[in-house]
Structure 1
C-alpha cells in the first residue's frame, strides 16, 4: 500500500494496445498485418492487473477496440476487478490524419464494442498518440455527440507528432457548440531552461522510462504539494515487456522511442505505486471543480 503522505489522489491509466500498433512503427507495419504478429497485449495487461491488485490500486484502462475484439475475457476481467473501462479508439489511427467521418466511425465502433463486451457504459476517451491537437479540435464535437463525458488526449507540450503548447496543464471543461466535455491533459512539470519556461513530460510512456525515478518522484510531488493538483500517470502494457519481438525497418528515432529502458518500467511502477495514491481518471475528475475554457483557447 502507498505511504500515507497526505497527498492528493492521482489518476492512473493504461493504454491497452500491442507493441506493433504504436505510432512509432506505423510507417513499417500495415494494420492489415497486425494479426500476423504474436498477440501479447492480453498477457501483459493481466500482469498489470495483478500488479494493481498487489497495491490495491484502481485504474482506467483505455482499450483499443481491436484488442477487445480479440480478447473479450480481458475486458470483462478489467471491469470485474473494479477498474474503469475507457476507449482508445478501434484501430489506433491518428485523429488529425483520418478526418472527421472516419474518426466518428472509429470511436463509435470501439465504444459500442467495449460496452457490449463489458456490459457497462464507457465515458472516457484517449486518442492514439495524443492526436487531439490544434488540427483536430473538431474531435471534441464528435466525442460529445457519441456520448463521451471526458477526454484525456491533450499533451500541453511542443512535439513533432502531437501536443497543444500553452494549453491548460490541469483538468478543465471544454465548451463547444455541441455542449461541454471534461479534459484531463497529460501532466507536465514546469521548469526554466536558459531563461525560458518549459513544460517537461514525465508521467508516462517514453518519458517515464527515460527519466530517473527521483526526477519523476520530485515532479509528481511538486504537482501534488506545490500546485495542489492531481496528475495523471499513463503507460502501455508493452512497456513492461522487454522480451517483445523487435521490429525491423523503423528509423533510429522510432526505435529509441519505443525500446528505451523497457526493462526499467516494472521497477519504476512498483516504486510509484508504493509512494502515491491513485484512482481511475473518471473518479479523480468527479472530485474536482473545473475551470471552463473554449477549445480554441487551447490551440
Structure 2
C-alpha cells in the first residue's frame, strides 16, 4: 500500500531585487523609492504558476512592500495563500536592538493584517538573521503575537547560520515554533537544500534528490524558499557590485521559472501554517524537535 506523500512548505520572501542584504553596500535605503520596482509583476508570475498547479504557499512579505502595493497583498490572500511577515524594512534582526526589533515586527504585522484582512501568525527574519547572539528575538516574536518563525538556518555561511541548531521544527518558546530552512545531513555536516541561491546554482536533479531524501529518510516536510526577483532574468543589473555578489545574485536567473515548474510537479506543497501549526492545534502528529539544543533554545 502506497503511503500519502509528505506535504512540503513552499515559501516566498516578498522583497525586490534592490532590497537584498548583499546589495545594501551599493543601494542605500534612501534610494529605494526611486528604483524601478518589479515585485508586482514577479509575484503575479509566481501566483499564476501556483494556480496552474493548484498549490498554496506562504508569502513572507515586507511591510515596506505591502504599504506601497496593497493590491498585491490582497491578490496573495485571495489566492488562498498564507500572508506572513518578513519584517518591515528588511533590516537584519542581528543588526537591531531588542526594542528596534520589537517595533519592526509589531509594525509589520499590524500593517499586513490591516491590508490583508487576515491574521498573520508567521515570521521570517531577513537573511535568516536570528542566531546564537540574539535568541531574545524569539521572546519578542511571542510577545508580538506570532505563532511560528522560520528564521534559523542550521548551516555555516558567511552571512548567517547556526549550524548546531535543530534541523527540523521545534518549540523555542511556549506557543512559538521555529521551523528552520531545510538541510540534508551528509558526511557529518548540514548541507542546504531549501532553495534560494542553491536552487539556482545546483542542477535541478540534485535539489530534487535532496528534498526527496528529507521526505523519505528523515520523514520530514521540507521548507523551500525563493524570492520574486529570482524569476526575473530581465531585472536591472546593479553597477559596481563585487564579483561574489554578482555571481550569487544573477546566476541562472533564466532557469528558475522552469525549475520551479518542475518542483511543483515533482512534490506536494502547502502553506507553512497548514503544515506546521496543525500539530499545535491538535491536528497532524507533532514533529520531532531534534535534541538538546532544542531544549536550550526553548529555555
TM over 0.5: yes
- Quick check: 2:168–2:288 contact (8 Å CA) kept in 1? no
**Which residue in the other structure is 1:145 paired with?**
143
CA distance in 2, matches of 1:125, 1:295: 21
> Structure 1 CA distance, aligned partners of 2:40 and 2:6?
31
Q: Given that residues 204 and 233 in structure 1 are in contact (C-alpha distance below 8 angstroms), is that contact kept between their aligned partners in structure 2?
A: yes
Distance 1:288 1:165 in 2: 26
* Partner SS, residue 14 of structure 1: strand
Instruction: Quote the residue 2:50 is aligned against.
Output: 52
Q: TM-score, normalised by structure 2?
A: 0.93
In the alignment, is the contact (CA less than 8 A) between 2:171 and 2:298 conserved in 1?
no
> Which residue of the other structure, out of 221, 235, 238, is the alignment partner of 1:247?
238
Shift of 1:249: 2.2
Matched residue, 2:176: 181
| Other structure's SS at 1:96 match | helix
1:211 to 192, 198, 202: 202
Query: What SS does the aligned partner of 1:120 have?
Result: coil
Q: Which residue of 1 aligns with 2:112?
A: 114
Cα distance in 1, alignment partners of residues 170 and 34 from structure 2: 41
CA–CA distance in structure 2, aligned partners of residues 295 and 70 of structure 1: 40
SS of the equivalent of 1:154 reads coil
1:289 paired with 2:290, answer: no
Equivalent pair of 1:23/1:129 in contact (CA under 8 Å): yes
Counterparts of 2:252 and 2:189, CA distance in 1: 24
Distance 1:17 1:210 in 2: 20
Alignment partners' CA distance in 1, 2:285 and 2:141: 21
Deviations 1:30-59 (A, max 9, x none): 111101110101110011100000000000
Q: What is the alpha-carbon distance in structure 1 between the residues aligned to residue 296 and residue 114 of structure 2?
A: 31
Structure 1 gaps, min length 5: none
Shift of 1:291: 4.6
Which residue of the other structure, out of 57, 73, 93, is the alignment partner of 2:71? 73
CA deviation vs aligned residue, 1:134-190 (integer Å, no higher than 9, x gap)? 111110000000000000010000111111112111111113xxx331011000111
- Aligned-pair RMSD on alpha carbons? 1.5
Counterpart Cα distance in 1 of 2:175 and 2:70: 31
Measure, in 1, the Cα distance between the counterparts of 2:240 and 2:32. 16
**Whole-Å Cα distance in 2 between the matches of residues 259 and 279 of structure 1?**
28
TM-score by length of 1: 0.93
Aligned length: 288
Deviation at 1:251, TM superposition (A): 1.4
After TM superposition, the structure 1 = structure 2 runs for residues 220-235 of structure 1, keeping only pairs within 5 Å, are 220-235=211-226
Decide whether aligned partners of structure 1 residues 5 and 276 sit closer, same or farther in structure 2, where only a CA change above 3 A counts.
Answer: farther
From 83, 100, 103, give the equivalent of 2:101. Answer: 103
Distance 1:40 1:295 in 2: 42
Q: Distance in 2 between matches of 1:227 and 1:296?
A: 22
Determine if contact 1:65/1:113 at 8 Å carries over to the other structure. Answer: yes
The change in CA–CA distance for 1:70 and 1:226 in structure 2 (over 3 A counts) is same
Aligned to 2:159: 161
